Structure 1
Amino acid sequence: MVDKKPYIETIIEKSYPYLKKTFSNKERLLEFIQTVELLKTKTNTKEIIDSFITTYIDFVKQDYQNQYKEVNLKLVDFLEKKDDGVKIIWGDCLDVMRGMKSESIHLMVTSPPYYNAREYSQWKNLNEYLDDMRLIIREAYRVLDNHRVFVFNVGDIFDNDNITTTSTWGKRRIPLGAYFTKIFEEEGFTFVDDFIWDKGEVQSERHKNGNKPYPFYQYPMNCYEHILIFHKHRVDETRYPCPVCGCLKVNGNAHSEIGVKSWECKNLECFERSKANRGKRFSLKSIITQGRQEEKYVIEEDFIKKWRRDIIKINPVIKINSKGENILGHTAPFPTDIPEFAIKMFSYPNECVLDPFGGSFTSVITAKKLNRIGIGIELNKKMFGKSSMKNLINSLQVGLFDKNDIKISEIDLL
């Protein structure tokens, strides 16, 4: 009786010509084969296929990441430690992200400093502000993993662009949402959606019309903000294994989305063939998403229904108590609804969620509560450090006996 050949050997045999192209370095190829050959002890075919694909994707990503030579090793060590779920980085977000590995973050969610809206967010003019934001968005594109999402909350403001005039009459509604959408797309992202955050009654005193009930003096109050959704689809010509049989014997197909390369399995012995004898069609994105359609990842129906509307009513965060004190410390916190939406809709447990403008660390807190690794970058340590950290600890500390279980790590790169 002939022993049945381990299925991993079949995968390697059928994939070997393509593995040599993917891993042109012989030592790297040998390292990969030796790693997946450990699957010989497994007997479950699906488990073997899934493990082979995961290992292959990891190796390909490592090779891509190694092309970027500007990483901050101290920062990378800090981020890759597995003993905590909350990581606070004090520093300039552009400098910090420049020290991070490429495609090492699974989701980004943030609300940037608005142009000249706060004492800590002052620019000479609108062009300088947008130029600075462009550099940050460009670096965010490199750091965000491929086929992942950036959720970006921003509000249009009423101010002077300080480019051609600085007079009061030069004030106008500055459509930051539109400007940012243009910048994101120019830097490689794909604009997907725009939820309008209905903030209800406006508390701001800005651009009220005074006591002049005349034409040309009337302006609407700003009672909404944008929740912009951007996808990153870096064009990747790397051949990926068929999710059904695990083999790399696949042919390139059309782009199913902008920047999403698709493939068709050409292994005639694949476990899934169409009536016309066509192979499985897939992409790296579909491997990531369709491979995790399991009960443990199901999003609550009520939560999905809430976000099926394009206008979402969310009450602004109340930060001032009856004594006139700012109980959150930060002057512009945003509600947990936004990071909760982003994290539930566009990430999986134990993945890394980054907020480049940490502020009061709302995104980090929400990520931790949803079993993700929350990473927050904040520049204004002197202004908000103590109050933001206090808010972070209070928000995560469910009870007295949970205090020792809160694992918060900090690194100061200022």
Structure 2
Amino acid sequence: MKQLPDLLLQTPQTIEPCFRIDARLVVFQGDVSDCLEQLPDETIQLIITSPPYNLGKEYENRRDIADYLKTQVPLLKQLYRVLKKEGSLCWQVGNFVEEGEVYPLDIFYYPLFKKQGFKLRNRIIWRFGHGLHASKRLSGRVYHINHLKERSRLEFILRSFYSFRCNPASA
């Protein structure tokens, strides 16, 4: 591992505004669909994303939950196309709330993932202690991250990435 002073003395990397096969760093500003169109098939090893939750924020138009999910299908097709066979997609979402009813978006996305050819490998619960307080229900303090792999490539060796400790009394 390099020492901090060595890292500080390195020549800064060039940041490219659009995809180039030889680029080390690309920062694309704009619609993700436009960015994905530039990418060749099977070029990305890891995709980590958090799509809009259909809450009506300034960068999205709130719509019926079924319509919202339909708008995500073209994006999922493009993500599947650019993901390498051994690659992973980590899709982080929260909840959509309408008229007091909570819609767990990760569950609603699951059939869309399956239809594109992804398999759910891990469902990660990200617990946090901040955020807005709800006035008519318990305040949500979790996000769900769906770790997906392509259907034909399910090699995932846990020992390479994780170490587990098991309490013998609960095993």
Q: What is the TM-score normalised by the length of structure 1?
A: 0.33
Q: Secondary structure at the match of 2:120?
A: strand
Which residue number in structure 2 is paired with residue 81 of structure 1?
22
Within-5 A mapping of 1:185-264:
185-200=114-129, 202-205=130-133, 207-209=134-136, 219-233=137-151, 259-260=152-153
1-side partners of 2:122 and 2:131: how far apart? 27
1:356-367, aligned counterparts within 5 Å? none
Tell me if structure 1 keeps the 8 A contact 2:56–2:62. no
2-structure distance, mates of 1:101, 1:119 = 31
Determine which of 99, 122, 128 is the counterpart of 2:38.
99
Paired position in structure 2 for 1:358: none
Alignment partner of 1:89: what SS?
coil
Distance 2:124 2:56 in 1: 22
Distance 2:147 2:52 in 1: 18
**2:113–2:119 CA contact under 8 A, matched in 1:** yes
The alignment's TM-score, normalised by the length of structure 2, stands at 0.74
Q: How does 1:4-403 map onto structure 2 within 5 Å? A: 78-82=19-23, 85-116=24-55, 118-157=57-96, 159-160=97-98, 170-200=99-129, 202-205=130-133, 207-209=134-136, 219-233=137-151, 259-260=152-153, 304-305=162-163
| CA displacement, residues 152-200 of structure 1 (integer Å, 9 cap, x when unaligned) | 111123x22xxxxxxxxx3310110101122111111111110111113
Deviation at 1:117, TM superposition (A): 5.2
RMSD: 2.7
SS of aligned partner of 2:135: coil
Q: Is the strand fraction higher in 1 or 2?
A: 2
Residue number in structure 2 paired with 1:269: none
SS of match in other structure, 2:131: coil
Unaligned runs of 5+ in 2: 1-16, 166-171
Q: Computing the radius of gyration over CA atoms, which structure comes out larger, 1 or 2?
A: 1
Distance across 2 between alignment mates of 1:203 and 1:175: 17
Q: Is the 2:54–2:63 contact (alpha carbons within 8 Å) kept by the matching residues of 1? A: no
Give the AA of the match of 2:135: K
Unaligned runs of 5+ in 1: 1-73, 161-169, 210-218, 234-258, 261-284, 291-297, 310-414
Q: Report percent identity of matched pairs.
A: 22
Aligned-partner residue type, residue 221 of structure 1: S
Distance in 1 between residues matched to 2:103 and 2:66, nearest whole Å? 12
Secondary structure of 1:132's counterpart equals helix
Partner-residue secondary structure (3-state), 2:79: helix
Cα distance change on mapping 1:180 and 1:129 into 2, 3 Å: same
2:30 and 2:76 map into 1 onto residues whose CA distance is 16
Instruction: Determine the C-alpha separation between the residues in 2 that align with 1:192 and 1:124.
Output: 30
Q: Quote the residue 1:167 is aligned against.
A: none
In structure 1, distance between residues paired with 2:100 and 2:115: 27
Per-residue deviation, 1:208: 1.0
Supply the AA of the counterpart residue of 2:124: F
Report how far residue 232 of structure 1 moved: 1.1
User: Per residue, is there more helix in 1 or in 2?
Assistant: 1
Task: Tell me by how many angstroms 1:147 deviates.
Answer: 2.4
Aligned length, in residue pairs: 148
Q: Residue type of the partner of 1:184?
A: F
